[in-house]
A and B are shown apart, each in its own frame.
Chain A
Amino acid sequence: MIIEKSNQIKKKYKKRSQIYSIWLRFKRNKMAVAGLILLSILLTVAICAPLIVKYEHVIKQNLKIRFLPPGRDYWFGTDALGRDMFARIIWGARYSLSLGIGAVFISMSIGAVIGSVAGYYGGRIDSLIMRIIDVIMAIPGTLMAITIVAALGAGTVKLLIAMSISLIPTFSRVVRSIILSIREEEYIEAARSYGCKDRTIIMRHIWPNSLGPLIVQASLSMAQAVLTISSLSFIGLGVPAPTPEWGTILSENKVNMRDYSYLCTIPGFAILLSVIAMNLIGDGLRDALDPKLKN
């Protein structure tokens, strides 16, 4: 009966395009929509940071106004050097989010190429690539990133490189498995049987069907990347000190945590909110793409 029911639901959506129906299912998931709104706000803040506060407020030290609690003039208070925490958090969104998104974008592009080559050509190339990936996957991605950053020395670009490298194996694997599974699907066989050209098959069938799982993986990896980047910055292996990355801000202020707890709570919440938003979107997309799981 459950199957009969889902058939009826499917029937209803048959006339609309696939992407539109995914969006409809996504839209119905309140938590996912909340995540999308939250992430949009955070991204807007990150992009419009120069319009909200000038960068000079981020680094301007004023020892006369150290440790001001959150109030009217300084919404999030000031830190040990009298810097405006609000400005630092706002600009921090730029660094934290762009690093996370950047790392995922770079590793996804490279991983997609590697995974496609492995999945499409198969045979020896595939097994060679997969053996190398197995070796890299033998140690955790975080540890790989830590090792690379520790060897290169702390720095924003170096962190980005390290994060991207550590995420490449995951994306290569995901893309490869998507391509392999789609190649085996019966609808590809069916498309071929009624004389579809290779190009049409790739454009009409393989691409749309592989994009979904890839986007899901990207949004979940992004959440993970933001977490790892802030952790690395926190232990002194990431973005170096005056730059207002959220993990770096936490690292600077942890010594004053006992007396001025707001210095640590606010940046932490900023990270938490962005990661929650990305996870909610990822989960929502996954459910929307796979309606089986929902009922």
Chain B
Amino acid sequence: MVRYILKRLIIMIPIIVGITLIVFAILNYTPGDAATLILGFDATEASLDALRAKLKLDDPFMVRYVRYLVGLLKGDLGISWRHNTPVAAELMNRIPNTLGLAAYAVTVMLILGIPMGIISAVRQYSLLDHTTLFIALLMTSIPTFWLALMMMLKFSLELGILPATMPTSAAITWKHWVLPTFMCSANLTASTVRTTRSNMLEVIRSDYIRTAKSKGAGQFRVIMYHALRNALMPVVTIVGINFNVLMGGAVITEQVFNISGVGNLLISSVRTKDAPMAMGCIIFIATVIGIVNLLVDLLYVFINPRLKSMYVRNNAAKEES
């Protein structure tokens, strides 16, 4: 098991190298000069040259990229070109907000999505099922930023219950998170409902559920003891994919609610060609996604007896030798 985790973590390294290379190339080969963007259009040619020399912008592309990687190996994310502060420090300021948003959204997605999907499947074709499916269709198709606007209109402007934007300081309360969380999780909760429902329906019709019924088990027992675990296995794998989508949505949510998170930082750094900062953000996002997917895979192994017994056997064999 430990070996498997290590292997997965090692696989993340080439992915991070690749993704930083792509971002570095995008920043390098798109129009716009970093020095001008940092100093402003009225900067003198001399000061621009001085900055270019300081940032070593005139070196060839690969030389600069390898230099960055070497720094990264030493654990140095570099200094922001624009703010002249360490990238790591700025990231540390932003990470809690982004991770918080993601965590709240995933929680809502699981806590609302899975039970709704199960109930909908168990009461297939009932009014409740039709309503749930209709809302789920609406929520997968709705532009979430527009949903956020409408909620702001209702809850912030009309009723004044919930704040519409995020304060920068420590004045953040749970109320500030309600609308962003809602916006960030709406699509994915709906897709979780739909996936859970269709998996559950498939499991309910399987032969072993019929066997369970033929033993005289009641409906509650059939659903909770026999069907749930089998139905959730595919849902678990989809949580990983959904988390990927969620991180994309989180960036837009941060923009709409003006949350000072990593996504916001990424957009502003790419715009100003602040390469070290942008790369830092991408590395963070790719790492989080990689780790979450690893956790999801581990969870999958844990709930799937076929895989689990494989690993348990391996461990036992190792202990013997």
Contacts and interface: CB of A to CB of B under 8 A. Distances in A.
A contacts B: CB pair < 8 Å: yes
A267 to B, nearest CB: 8
A132 B18 contact: yes
B251 interface: yes
B281 to A, nearest CB: 9
Interface secondary structure of B, over-half rule: helix
A265 B142 contact: no
A272 B282 contact: no
B30 A152 contact: yes
Interface stretch (B52-60, B216-224, B264-272): B264-272
Interface stretch (B39-47, B85-93, B149-157, B303-311): B149-157
A143 B143 contact: no
B146 A264 contact: yes
Contact of B145 (A136, A143, A235, A261): A235
Contact of B252 (A135, A235, A257): A235
Contacts of B273: 151
B271 A150 contact: yes
Interface residues of A, number: 45
B143 A271 contact: yes
Contacts of A272: 138, 141-143, 146
A36 interface: no
Contacts of B198: 293
Contacts of A171: none
Contact of B150 (A141, A265, A280): A265
B184 interface: no
Nearest to B205: A2
Contacts of B251: 142-143, 146
A267 B137 CA distance: 19
A247 B289 CA distance: 28
A170 B19 CA distance: 17
B238 interface: no
Contacts of A150: 266-267, 270-271
Nearest to A142: B248
Nearest to A220: B140
Given A147-B23, A147-B270, A140 B256 contact: no
Nearest to A152: B30
A116 interface: no
B22 A135 contact: yes
B244 interface: yes
B248 A279 contact: no
B32 A153 contact: yes
B149 A151 contact: no
B153 A261 contact: yes
A254 interface: yes
Given A138-B290, A139-B282, A142-B251, 16 more contacts: A135-B19, A138-B286, A143-B247, A227-B144, A230-B143, A234-B146, A235-B252, A257-B157, A258-B153, A261-B153, A268-B146, A268-B149, A272-B141, A272-B146, A276-B137, A279-B140
22 contacts: A134-B15, A136-B22, A137-B244, A139-B286, A143-B251, A147-B266, A151-B32, A151-B270, A152-B30, A153-B31, A230-B145, A231-B143, A231-B252, A235-B252, A235-B256, A257-B152, A261-B153, A264-B150, A264-B153, A265-B150, A271-B146, A279-B137
